[in-house]
């Protein structure tokens, strides 16, 4: 781990655990009604303990299984800021699953990733997680929501076991990784030109267009994509560790898992499976309703790519919904708008 990351983790730890508003955050996070549910547990998935956090205001609500991105970017540590506050748990029982190589699942495995771990195995894990949740929560089917890397996991899951799911929802959707990267680079370069941002232009032109020859070039595109994405001001103390029940060590665990998974699935030469994915090779037919909720300004998984994929796939029902001005993290930056779209278009199917 680099010195910069260690310093960032230290700052996040201090600002989170010494901040006086923490008690108020904990109060808002609480679910106390008799019909509510708030559980954190490990499921035995093919002999691997995998962590899930289950939260909802009413057990009668539909279950939404959230498949996080990254790879390795477990969402359970920042659930309060984006999911609880935006009212998701009033309409769904939301389940955050830490995949192998992420969050508390990574920690339980001794901060190690099985060298043979593949995307296909993670998707197989996801199906078993869904089965276990259906039994535990007394629901025959769940809603599956995947974001970014989680869309690749999620598509494999619903194609393997459509009987387990009311619907599939994808956001920040991958389509064809090499093509996505090429379009995304051009979009960010065009934004830098329109903004007359000479620093961004120099950085992007120096790193060059994909396929990237170095990890630094890849990170340059991501840095400027984040810069131009219209995100609200973020308080770093809440961004990663705003969920009560976490401890300072969870911050280190989160970063360690994220970095390890990123290297594992992208590869040091940026030729790993995360950089070569093409979802079209898995076929165009879905047996469940499909919803894409996409930010119009996504400079990592561009809207134009998702539009083409949407037109190509076949499903019993399909909808492409956009959030104007949102970027790759529309799920987070526009959490309430995202929730209202789920309420209007997906929740009725699950009821």
Residues 104 and 243 in one domain: yes
Looking at residue 48, what is its pLDDT? Answer: 97
> Are the beta carbons of 176 and 278 closer than 8 angstroms?
yes
Number of domains observed in the structure of the chain: 2
Residues 187 and 49 in one domain: no
Residues 120 and 74 in one domain: yes
Residues 301 and 275 in one domain: yes
Residues 200 and 116 in one domain: no
DSSP letter at 21 equals T
Taking residue 176's Cβ as centre, other Cβ atoms within 10 Å add up to 18
Q: Of 230, 248, 274, which residue constitutes the final position of a domain?
A: 230
Residues 193 and 302 in one domain: no
User: CA–CA distance from 163 to each of 84, 297, 318 (Å)?
Assistant: 28, 34, 17
CA dist 10 and 2 (Å) reads 13
Residue (of 349, 330, 327) closest to 338 by Cα position: 330
Residues 194 and 335 in one domain: no
Q: Of 230, 249, 265, which residue constitutes the final position of a domain?
A: 230
Query: DSSP of 205-262, one letter per residue?
Result: HHH-SSSPSSHHHHHHHHHHHHHHS-PPP--HHHHTT-STT--HHHHHHHHHHHHHHH
> Are the beta carbons of 115 and 106 closer than 8 angstroms?
no
Residues 69 and 164 in one domain: yes
Residue (of 208, 176, 174, 172) closest to 189 by Cα position: 208
> Are the beta carbons of 229 and 327 closer than 8 angstroms?
yes
> Are the beta carbons of 171 and 322 closer than 8 angstroms?
no
Looking at residue 323, what is its pLDDT? Answer: 97
pTM for this entry: 0.90
Domain that holds residue 198: 177-230
Residues 276 and 215 in one domain: no
Place of tokens 């909802």: 56
Residue (of 102, 152, 170, 113) closest to 276 by Cα position: 152
Residue 248, burial from CB neighbour count under 10 angstroms (0-12, 13-18, 19+): middle
Peptide bond into 313 cis (omega under 30): no
Taking residue 241's Cβ as centre, other Cβ atoms within 10 Å add up to 24
* The total number of residues written for the chain in this structure: 351
User: CA–CA distance from 95 to each of 74, 127, 323 (Å)?
Assistant: 12, 14, 24
Q: Which two tokens stand for residue 297?
A: 């300004």
Residues 114 and 196 in one domain: no
At 168, which CATH number? 3.40.50.1820
Q: In what order do the strands lie in the sheet with 165-171?
A: 37-45, 48-56, 93-97, 63-67, 142-147, 165-171, 290-295, 318-323
Residues 32 and 76 in one domain: yes
CA dist 34 and 178 (Å) reads 49
Q: Of 198, 230, 262, which residue constitutes the final position of a domain?
A: 230
- Residue 172, phi-psi category: left (phi > 0), alpha (psi -120 to 50), beta (remainder): left
Residues 218 and 239 in one domain: no
From first to last of its 351 residues, the chain has per-residue pLDDT tens of 444 444 444 334 333 333 334 444 567 788 888 999 999 999 999 999 999 999 999 999 999 999 999 999 998 887 877 788 899 999 999 999 999 999 999 999 999 999 999 999 999 999 999 999 999 999 999 999 999 999 999 999 999 999 999 999 999 999 999 999 999 999 999 999 999 999 999 999 999 999 998 899 999 999 999 898 866 554 545 555 556 677 777 788 888 999 999 999 998 888 899 999 999 999 999 999 999 999 999 999 999 999 999 999 999 999 999 999 999 989 988 999 999 999 999 999 998
- Backbone phi, psi, residue 146, to 5°: -110, 145
31 contact partners, CB below 8 Å, separation of at least 6: 37, 38, 55, 56, 57, 89
Place of tokens 């969402």: 75
């Amino acid at each position: 781990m680099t010195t910069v990351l260690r310093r960032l983790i230290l700052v996040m730890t201090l600002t989170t655990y010494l901040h006086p508003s923490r008690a108020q955050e904990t109060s808002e996070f609480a679910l106390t009604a008799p019909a509510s549910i708030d559980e954190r547990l490990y499921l035995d998935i093919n002999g691997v303990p995998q962590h899930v956090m289950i939260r909802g205001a009413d057990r009668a609500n539909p279950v939404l299984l959230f498949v996080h991105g990254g790879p390795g970017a477990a969402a359970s540590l920042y659930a309060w800021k984006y999911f609880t506050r935006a009212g998701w748990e009033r309409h769904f029982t939301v389940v955050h699953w830490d995949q192998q190589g992420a969050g508390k699942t990574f920690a339980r495995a001794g901060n190690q990733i099985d060298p043979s771990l593949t995307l296909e195995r993670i998707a197989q894990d996801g199906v078993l997680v869904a089965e276990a949740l259906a039994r535990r929560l007394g629901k025959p089917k769940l809603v599956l929501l995947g974001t970014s890397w989680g869309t690749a996991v999620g598509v494999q899951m619903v194609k393997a076991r459509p009987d387990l799911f009311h619907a599939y929802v994808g956001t920040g959707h991958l389509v064809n990784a090499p093509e996505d990267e090429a379009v995304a680079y051009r979009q960010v370069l065009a934004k830098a030109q329109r903004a007359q941002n000479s620093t961004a232009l120099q950085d992007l032109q120096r790193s060059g267009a994909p396929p990237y020859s170095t990890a630094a070039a890849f990170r340059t595109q991501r840095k400027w994509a984040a810069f131009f994405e219209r995100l609200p001001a973020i308080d770093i103390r809440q961004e990663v560790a705003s969920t009560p029940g976490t401890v300072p060590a969870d911050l280190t665990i989160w970063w360690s898992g994220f970095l390890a998974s990123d290297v594992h699935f992208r590869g040091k030469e940026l030729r790993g499976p995360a950089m070569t994915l093409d979802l079209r090779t898995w076929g165009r037919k879905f047996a469940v309703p499909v919803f894409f909720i996409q930010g119009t300004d996504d400079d990592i998984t561009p809207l134009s790519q998702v539009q083409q994929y949407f037109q190509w796939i076949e499903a019993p029902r399909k909808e492409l919904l956009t959030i104007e001005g949102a970027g790759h993290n529309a799920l987070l930056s526009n959490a309430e708008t995202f929730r209202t779209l789920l309420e209007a278009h997906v929740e009725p199917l699950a009821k």
